[in-house]
Chains A and B, each alone.
Chain A
Amino acid sequence: MSRLFVWLDDRTGLRDLARAFFFPQIPGGARWRYVWGNAALFALFVQFVTGVALWFCYSPSAQTAWESVFFLQNNVAGGWFLRGLHHFNAQVLTMLLAWRLAQSIIAGTYKAPREVNFWVGLGLFLFVLAASVTGWLLPWDQKGYWSTKVATNILSISPVVGPSLQRILVGGSDYGHQTLMRFFALHAGVIPLSLLALVVAHVYLSRRHGYAATAPAAGPSVSYWPDQALRDAVACLAVMGVLIVLTVRHHGAELAPPADPTDNFSAARPEWFFLPLYQFLKLFPGGTEIVGAIILPTLLMALVALMPMTAARWRWGHRFNLCFATAVAVAAGALLWRAVAADRADPAYNLAKRQLEIDAARVKVLAESSAGIPPEGAVVLLRRDALTQGPRLFARYCASCHRFGGQDGMGGVVAGEEKASDLKGFGSAAWLTGVLDPAQVASAHYYGGTALKNGKMIKFVKTKVASFTPEQKAKLHQVIAAVAAEAQLGPQPEGDVKAGTEWLRGEMRCADCHQFREPDANASAPDLTGYASRDWLISFIGNPKQERFYGDDNDRMPAFLDEHVLNAGQIAMIADWLRSK
């Protein structure tokens, strides 16, 4: 063994290399405050290892990126844990490097002869930020897609080269395959290689300069191994512990629903440590974004990079640097806090976040169903899904008059009065009971907001039904069961449907105005045959002016199909969603 080692050392100089690495002298003894550099190095190592493993599981294209990440999360052993480590470690690494930078400024170790190593460290920090930005897009989910779009749009306002730079980065004018390929090549190729080169330079330079004693000596100088090495190893273990806790507590990294360029996610935000910059941009009125997004951040970075010069040339330089760094940190903290507080207090933001979680859960159900993910990608699963599109279409086309449980179908509050009935539970026994309740029928929840408020139905309910005997009320209850049964909403309503059908035609006199089962040329009110069933709803939404429905008595409701507002598929999705609730 030792002969082999001697042979190898002869030819490689391994022994000297190992000595340079493991036995440099630490002036004043080993210290906990010296562990941060190697803790950051360890975090970088974790990022490389998990990144390469993720690479084996990732497919960069608009139809496969989200899908491959979904597969990793749900079908690969420990896949969620692997991705979770990479996700949370990106944040830990950024924080460790930021702290390293702060340490070096506080202790003044950026001064001669360590200026170049300070710049190398600054470079490491910036490249790690770039890795965060490029990695954010790769899962191709709603969060990454919409927030990265903002980032590349900001890039395009840079002077002169901005628009070209944006096109180069995006691979054209629109996001797509090329964007993912480029971001992936940057994230997994260019940036890690640059980081590696910078790390080599950083380690080389710090060994060349030796440890800077930044604390009063605690004892005699010791060699790095094993005293400081043990402290560093414990720090690495602590970093790992934090990562495991974060990953397990959140069950890995979130995967939002697949990116859909036609469905804006309004709560898109960058990674949290970019939030100060995000908040900062709000301070700049239109036309001056360039100042907040490009000029001031560049100036700030230049001032940081020039710190060694400032300290060397100016008597108060180091103190200025300290004050400047403190001011930046305080401002960043304040901006971060304001950004988070503003979002927390914003109902639209919280609604969009909630919808994102609903959609993410829904796409998981669809993707794991027997039909699986089609080759066009998982986004079509949501686009074809009534439970996903129904509420969106309702909010856009119906909620200006109708409500759904008092809101717009997606949980949003609609300003203004209800102009038409609330359609939650439309056609169910409960809904029909309300229509036939003298106290409710003329409320805005039913027909109070429509032209029908002076119609025959409301008159009938308010005068006739109001004076019903208990016996007649029992019969009405059976009629409600019979009409609710027409909707075929799943479980059959309680009550005697057959008897109810008899009363509907007979004593209750519904069929005097409503058509039921047989064609009735004299009918003046909506057909009760299959009332609120799928076919009935689709036909009704398509054109409520049909003789079968309201005919000329129709109030303001458009003929959505016949007037080409919606297509048949969209109407069917609204009907299916309404009926599913």
Chain B
Amino acid sequence: MDSDRRTFCKTAAAIVAGGVAAAVPIGAGMSALLNPLRPGSKDAHDFVRVAALDAVPNDNVPRKFSVVADQVDAWNKTPAVPIGAVYLRRSPTNVVEALNAICPHAGGFIDYLPAEACFLCPLHKSLFNSDGSIKDRSSPAPRAMDTLPAEVRDGAIWVKFENFRAGVAQKIPA
């Protein structure tokens, strides 16, 4: 009986000591591995100049432009590199709209088809109207294309660029 208890204590002590020793490197490794889950200080992009106003005729037809901004990629900071694309369109009354070119379904890159006056995602064939709303009820996209804040300043269009989470009905920052 006594020797049973001694054996049990030794077994438990060996498992605890070995477990604690092994847990340290595993814990340190997991901490680094799970680092991306930390609430980051990812600074959202400010408004950036995307195109001259004249480059977007006031015919309500969307046109694609690259968004060029300073990029932070882990340790690198790179000034003025393309970070995404937007469709811009301007109404006859000079209202400017900006749509993120990424499909809200699965993140495909959306094309604009001028002949049909609609957007088409080449991956799963989501269809959107030229204002970005869902065109076809059977469309796989869970929400309309993501609109972005756009302003006209000194004859140029400025956009506050942002990406959103794909595959959900709500527009949640990525």
Chain A contact residues, CB within 8 Å of chain B: 42, 45-46, 49-50, 52-54, 56-57, 64, 67-68, 70-72, 75-79, 81-82, 85, 225-227, 229-230, 232-234, 236-237, 239-240, 243-244, 367, 371-375
Contacts and interface: CB of A to CB of B under 8 A. Distances in A.
A77 B77 contact: no
A46 B30 CA distance: 13
Contacts of A375: 76, 78
Given A42-B21, A77-B38, A240-B21, A82 B28 contact: yes
B35 A237 contact: no
B33 A373 contact: no
Nearest to A79: B32
Given A372-B72, A375-B76, A233 B14 contact: yes
**What bracket does the count of chain B residues touching chain A fall in?**
20 to 34
Given A226-B10, A233-B13, A68 B75 contact: yes
Contact of A372 (B11, B26, B34, B75): B75
10 contacts: A42-B21, A53-B28, A68-B74, A68-B75, A76-B32, A78-B32, A82-B29, A229-B18, A372-B72, A373-B77
Contacts of A373: 75-77
A237 B20 CA distance: 7
Interface string B12-24: 0111111011101
B170 interface: no
B10 to A, nearest CB: 4
B66 interface: no
A355 B13 CA distance: 49
Contact of B29 (A49, A236, A244): A49
A153 B20 CA distance: 43
B76 A67 contact: yes
Nearest to B71: A375
Interface in B117-145: none
A227 to B, nearest CB: 7
A85 B77 contact: no
B16 to A, nearest CB: 8
Contacts of B77: 371-374
Contacts of A81: 28, 31
Main secondary structure of the interface of B (DSSP, over half): helix
B25 interface: yes
**DSSP class of A's interface residues: helix, strand, loop or mixed?**
helix
A138 to B, nearest CB: 16
A353 B118 CA distance: 66
B139 to A, nearest CB: 38
Interface in B60-96: 72, 74-78
Interface string B27-66: 0111111110010000000000000000000000000000
Contact of B21 (A72, A78, A229, A236): A236
A373 B75 CA distance: 6
A236 B33 contact: no
Given A82-B31, A371-B77, A233 B25 contact: no
B35 to A, nearest CB: 5
Given A53-B25, A229-B14, A371-B77, 16 more contacts: A42-B22, A46-B25, A50-B25, A53-B29, A56-B32, A76-B35, A77-B38, A78-B31, A81-B31, A85-B28, A229-B11, A233-B17, A233-B21, A237-B18, A373-B76, A375-B76
Given A50-B25, A82-B29, A230 B75 contact: no
Nearest to A63: B76
Contacts of B20: 237, 240
B8 to A, nearest CB: 9
A85 B32 CA distance: 13
Contact of B75 (A52, A85, A237, A367): A367
Contacts of B38: 77
A216 to B, nearest CB: 23
For the complex of A and B, the 5 pairs showing the least CB-CB separation, nearest first, are A372-B77, A53-B29, A233-B17, A78-B31, A233-B18
A430 to B, nearest CB: 40
B32 A225 contact: no
Contact of A237 (B17, B32, B33): B17
Contacts of A371: 77
Contacts of A42: 21-22
A234 B34 CA distance: 29
A76 B29 CA distance: 11
Contacts of A53: 25, 28-30, 32-33
A52 B29 contact: yes
Given A236-B17, A372-B75, A225 B11 contact: yes
A562 to B, nearest CB: 35
Contacts of B16: 233
Contact of B14 (A46, A49, A71, A230): A230
Contacts of A49: 25-26, 29
Contacts of B10: 226-227, 229-230
Given A67-B75, A68-B75, A225-B11, A239 B35 contact: no
Contact of A72 (B14, B26, B32, B76): B32
A110 to B, nearest CB: 28
A374 B75 contact: no
Contacts of B72: 372
A53 B27 CA distance: 10
A372 B71 CA distance: 11
B28 A50 contact: yes
Nearest to B20: A237
Contacts of A71: 74-75
A70 B75 contact: yes
A226 B15 CA distance: 10
A54 B30 CA distance: 10
A113 to B, nearest CB: 30
A149 B29 CA distance: 30
